[in-house]
Amino acid sequence: MKSKYQKIKGTFDILPADTRLWKEMENILHNISEQFSYEEIRTPAIESIDLFKQNVGYETDVSKEMFTWEDHSHQQIALKPEMTAPVVRAYIEGGFFRSNPLCRLYYMDSLFRREKPQKGRQRQFNQFGIEAFGSSNIEQDVEVIMVAATCLKALNINDTTLHVNNIGSPETRTQYEALLKKYFAQNTRSMSSLSKKRLDTNPIRILDSKEKEDQSIIKNAPIVKELLNDSEKEDFNMLLSNLDALNIKYEESPYLVRGLDYYNGTTFEITTRSNKSQNALCGGGRYDFLVEKMGGPSTPAIGFAAGMERMIIESQYQVAKNSIDIYISSNDLNHSRQCFSIMQNLIDNNYTVFFDTNKKNVKNQMKDAIKRSASYLLIIDKNITVKNIKSNDEIAVSDFHELLNFLKNQ
Ligand code: AMP
């Protein structure tokens, strides 16, 4: 039967068949973050439009659109399309730079982007990510990549490639931007229309283009590495040698600049080796100037964000099937008080119960209990009978304590 209402284009329900895997994945990500001493932060779903417009290039770049509206008090509101700007806002507002000089935060949250829905690209999706504030040392970059690699390993996501690059300082970026603009301007003939638009607004983003016709032009574009100074080159080499020592495999990707304007220094991305068009699992990098730009004190920072839907798809992690300890049959209203009292006691003793409020007959309840992988059938009428579904053993018990003894001795 067709439902009268359908979900909004680009959004998805996460149904009970999948929520166990989601919860398991979330637990793994919470645990690993905490093992590395990152603390969880939760920020509101709505923020002022300017937070994203002025700081991370949303709405200025042709392909980055948000869900926005003006509320009754004429405030311009956006559903958050990314997490770094809200986390930085909260970091500055909360004065964390005073109380916690080496502040490490992580999040799991829903984000909203008004982009063309396609496979792997949703209008509402979930990200897990971390942000580390307060250290400009390359050791911090190694640690952040180590967290990402540890998470993927724990989620049993194996067939991936880590791409790394260093895009230098903002001055390097400006020089590189000029160099790219000159190069791309000479090659507009076979360029995609999106890249042509970006030539004026943000030429660096042309390097992120997935359009077929742009690939041969990108392949011969100048690389940023040639503009790096000695200390930036040394940092990059240090990063790579530490990744080698950790046995984290990587590829140097000279064109990995990451879309948003605020990155500097290390940039990285983890992709799946499949041929899917949306193969990016995780992207991150350093953003040493964003905190100051947003009104805080000058604070170096680095982080990454990973798409949870895409991680779920790639994960080979197996979750145990949902199971029920005790299937309760109580079909006679006269015994409902006793039934609820036993049920409450079972719950308080950490048993999982399923109560058949439809009051099917016991034969059908038994069938249903088997289908739901229940371990015991508990029949409460004028007697209390408990039956081990596997062995078919059954006994009569007089009260909850006897029932508990029986269950514990099984
Ligand atoms: P970004 O914030 O654009 O750097 O994205 C970080 C990660 O989030 C990507 O590598 C994807 O795994 C995921 N992601 C980004 N946009 C979407 C989307 N529209 N739908 C699903 N996942 C996304």
Distance 394 CA to ligand 1 centre (A): 54
Q: Are residues 361 and 241 in the same domain?
A: no
Distance 306 CA to ligand 1 centre (A): 7
Task: Answer whether residue 275 shows pLDDT above 80.
Answer: no
CATH number for the domain harbouring residue 395? 3.40.50.800
Which ligand 1 atom sits nearest the alpha carbon of residue 311?
A: 12
In a domain, 104, yes or no: yes
> Of the residues 314, 349, 370, which one is the last residue of a structural domain?
314
In a domain, 117, yes or no: yes
Q: What is the pLDDT of residue 62?
A: 52
Return the percentage of the chain with pLDDT > 90, whole number: 81
pTM (predicted TM-score): 0.92
Mean pLDDT, rounded, for 205-220: 89
Give the chain's domain count. Answer: 3
Q: How confident is the model at residue 140 (pLDDT cuts 50, 70, 90)?
A: very high
Is the separation of the CB atoms in 144 and 304 below 8 Å? yes
Range scoring the smallest mean pLDDT among 55-69, 138-152, 182-196, 311-325: 55-69
Q: Are residues 292 and 331 in the same domain?
A: no
Q: What is the pLDDT of residue 258?
A: 77
- Quote the crossing angle between the two packed helices 193-201 and 170-185, to the nearest 10°: 140
In a domain, 243, yes or no: yes
Distance 276 CA to ligand 1 centre (A): 14
Which ligand 1 atom sits nearest the alpha carbon of residue 282?
A: 10
Q: Are residues 71 and 150 in the same domain?
A: yes
The larger pLDDT score, comparing residue 135 to residue 211, is at 135
- Quote the crossing angle between the two packed helices 138-154 and 230-245, to the nearest 10°: 30
CATH number for the domain harbouring residue 98? 3.30.930.10
Is the separation of the CB atoms in 164 and 239 below 8 Å? yes
**Does residue 283's CB lie within 6 angstroms of at least one atom of ligand 1?**
yes
Q: Residues 49-102: pLDDT tens digits?
A: 999 988 887 766 655 789 999 999 999 999 999 999 999 999 999 999 999 999
Domain span holding position 376? 324-408
Q: How confident is the model at residue 134 (pLDDT cuts 50, 70, 90)?
A: very high
Q: Are residues 251 and 399 in the same domain?
A: no
For 300-326, the DSSP string reads: -EEEEEEEHHHHHHH-----PPP-EEE
**Does residue 160's CB lie within 6 angstroms of at least one atom of ligand 1?**
no
In a domain, 341, yes or no: yes
Q: What is the pLDDT of residue 291?
A: 96
Q: Are residues 182 and 205 in the same domain?
A: yes
Q: Are residues 120 and 245 in the same domain?
A: yes
Task: Answer whether residue 244 shows pLDDT above 80.
Answer: yes
> Of the residues 185, 201, 227, which one is the last residue of a structural domain?
227
Q: Are residues 291 and 309 in the same domain?
A: yes
Please, what is the average pLDDT of the chain? 93
Q: Are residues 239 and 374 in the same domain?
A: no
Q: What is the pLDDT of residue 63?
A: 59
Which ligand 1 atom sits nearest the alpha carbon of residue 82?
A: 2
Q: What is the pLDDT of residue 384?
A: 97
In a domain, 319, yes or no: no
Q: Are residues 134 and 48 in the same domain?
A: yes
Q: Residues 277-293: pLDDT tens digits?
A: 779 999 999 999 999 99
HEC string of 150-171 equals HHHHHCCCCCEEEEEEECCCHH
**Does residue 279's CB lie within 6 angstroms of at least one atom of ligand 1?**
no
> Of the residues 314, 335, 359, which one is the last residue of a structural domain?
314
Q: Are residues 159 and 174 in the same domain?
A: no
Q: Are residues 31 and 63 in the same domain?
A: yes
Task: Answer whether residue 259 shows pLDDT above 70.
Answer: no
Query: Sheet of 46-48: strands edge to edge?
Result: 46-48, 76-79, 68-70
Task: Answer whether residue 260 shows pLDDT above 70.
Answer: no
Range scoring the smallest mean pLDDT among 126-130, 189-193, 316-320: 316-320
Q: Are residues 339 and 297 in the same domain?
A: no
